[in-house]
Chain A
Amino acid sequence: MTTPGSSYQPSTGGMETFNIAHGFVESLVRGMRNSFLSDSDYHHLTQCDNLEDCKMNLGETDFGPGLADESVLTPTVLQSAAISKLSTEFLYLRSQSVAPLSTFLDFITHEYMIDNIMLLLKGTMSGRDINDLISMAHPLGLFKESTMRSIPTFESNAKGYADLYQCVLVDTPVGVYFSKFLQETSQNLGSAGEVRNVLEELGAVVTQFSQYAPAWSVHTSGASKSIDDAFYERDVHQLELAFEGQMHFACFYAYVKLKEQEIRNLVWISECVLQNQKESINDFVPIFSQHAPWRVKNQRR
């Protein structure tokens, strides 16, 4: 990773020079792209009657080795096994990369670091044990053990957060993002619900923008899909497009995000199997699916 003070950024290179530094890592991530569950894998999973069947079906996929040691499969076990697999793959890519790709990959981890900090802060506010919280943290956004233990020790007020930033966060890669944020929003941490309420109000405005109109119409039509699903679907479409071109960095970001979606799919399916909710088991967004709406539309043309 480049030091914050240095302004020198090596070029990513064009078609003729990209492969000098990044060709190997790029083809690695494209190899991993092969490991996404196929339409038939999803079909078999949705036919399962219990989680034991699910485990057997997953045994033939890339998830097989990670699940082999687990005696009992639960959605939580499945999720943590899948996340640790993603994290292993990502760290392998990171270890093979050089600047500026390595910096780009570090930026991808910043999101998880921020999530982990918020998890620790919110968790301690609701009185949870720090050891539990650390075990829940996303493996891609981990800090040093001592850093993570010191985050919840500050008081939950404006001064406490300022101290937290000065003493701990300023030394982490994500410190810059917190310098203003923590002081301003000391009272209302994590307002994802509010964002959603604002979205509801702005629905009429959203339809004015052609790229978001389809997602909103899904919401208003009152179909089984929620607006979250509609946006996930749009995400998957956009992220799949990143693999259409060669010699750029977008496919690294797209890979991580599509794997996240796949993990959401697996958790959804396993929850539905566990609770025997067969009617909603198909409400997930498959990745590189031949039946995706945008592919079906293109085939018809």
Chain B
Amino acid sequence: MSTCTGTYCNAGWSEVLTSMSPYGWGSMGLAFGLSLSVIGAAWGIFLTGSSLVGAAVKSPRIRSKNLISVIFCEATAIYGVIMAIVLNGLMKKPEGGIEDGSFTDEWNWSAFYFAGYGVFSSGLSVGLTNVASGVAVGIAGSSCALADAQDSSLFVKILIVEIFASALGIFGIIVGIIQSNSCQFPYDVAA
């Protein structure tokens, strides 16, 4: 492999990664955290909703009670929104440390990169767990509606299964918050 000597050549992955703005990483983390959570919630809602409306044709009594399954799915999206707000609070526009449009040498680069990768990863933690949680709640909710239509004593039993599926998403948001706690973006040279 020949050594690249041109102006536009990079010196391997370390240069590629350090050339990407930590603000970009942080914003992508926020975007993935929210969008994947919403995908999980939407997936769960159509799984539950289609079974719920069908089962309610012959047993209308289940329709209000089983909205709780839809609410469980919706909670998954709310986790994503909460996390997006938390992560957004960590990112601030720099107030100092910039001269002629670029960062000065006093800029806290290590904190800057730490925050960028941390926020990206915590967004991903929340997003991916919420996809899994949303699908799991959706499948359990769909079965819950069908079971309730046959025998109303099954509703509470399957609801417990749903609560456990919903807890998967809470694991994600807890870890995501802990992960992002120490990821404050520097906004001034002194900070």
**Is B139 within 8 A of A30, CB to CB?**
no
Question: Complex: how many Å from CA A24 to CA B46?
Answer: 10
A20, closest chain B residue (CB) = B46
Q: Which of B74-82, B142-150, B178-186 contacts A (4 or more CB under 8 A)?
A: B142-150
Given contacts A16-B43, A30-B55, A31-B58, A23 and B50 within 8 Å (CB-CB) = yes
Does B54 sit within 8 A of A, measured CB to CB?
A: yes
For chain B, residues 106 to 161, give those with C-beta under 8 angstroms from any C-beta of chain A. Answer: 135, 138-139, 142-143, 145-146, 149-150
Contact of B58 among A20, A23, A25, A35 (CB under 8 A): A35
Interface presence of A26 (CB below 8 A): yes
Q: Bound state CA distance, A15 and B51, in angstroms? A: 13
Contact A28 B143 (CB under 8 A): no
B20 at the A interface (CB under 8 A):
no
A25 to B146: give the CA distance in the assembly, Å: 12
Give B11-55 interface residues, CB cut-off 8 Å to A.
43, 46-47, 50-55
The reply to whether the CB of A189 lies closer than 8 angstroms to some CB of chain B is no
Cβ–Cβ < 8 Å partners of B55 in chain A: 27-28, 30-31
What CA separation (Å) do A30 and B62 show in the bound complex?
14
Please determine whether B58 and A19 come into contact, CB atoms closer than 8 angstroms: no
For chain B, the bracket of interface size reads 20 to 34
* Cβ contact of A33, chosen from B51, B53, B57, B150, cutoff 8 A: B150
Contact A27 B139 (CB under 8 A): no
Tell me the minimal C-beta distance from A19 to chain B in angstroms. 5
**Number of interchain pairs (Cβ within 8 Å):** 61
Instruction: Contacts A23-B50, A23-B51 given; indicate if A28 touches B57 (C-beta within 8 A).
Output: yes
Q: Does B59 lie at the interface of the complex (its beta carbon under 8 Å from any beta carbon of A)?
A: yes
A26 to B43: give the CA distance in the assembly, Å.
18
Cβ A30 vs Cβ B146 within 8 A? yes
**Given known A-B contacts A27-B149, A32-B58, A34-B150, A16 and B51 have beta carbons under 8 A apart:** no
**Cβ distance A99 to chain B, nearest Cβ, rounded Å:** 17
- B58 contacts A16, CB within 8 Å? no
Query: Any chain B CB within 8 A of the CB of A246?
Result: yes
Say yes or no: B139 contacts A26, CB within 8 Å: no
B59 A246 Cβ-Cβ under 8 A: no
A2 to chain B, nearest CB (A): 22
Query: How far is it, in angstroms, between the C-alpha of A23 and the C-alpha of B143 when the chains are bound?
Result: 11
Taking beta carbons and an 8 Å cutoff, which residues of B are in contact with A? 43, 46-47, 50-55, 57-59, 135, 138-139, 142-143, 145-146, 149-150
A-B contact pairs, 22 of them (CB 8 A): A15-B139, A16-B139, A19-B51, A20-B46, A23-B46, A23-B142, A24-B50, A25-B54, A26-B54, A27-B53, A27-B55, A27-B57, A28-B54, A28-B57, A28-B58, A30-B55, A30-B146, A30-B149, A30-B150, A33-B150, A34-B59, A34-B149
Q: List chain A positions with a Cβ less than 8 A from chain B.
A: 15-16, 19-20, 23-28, 30-35, 246
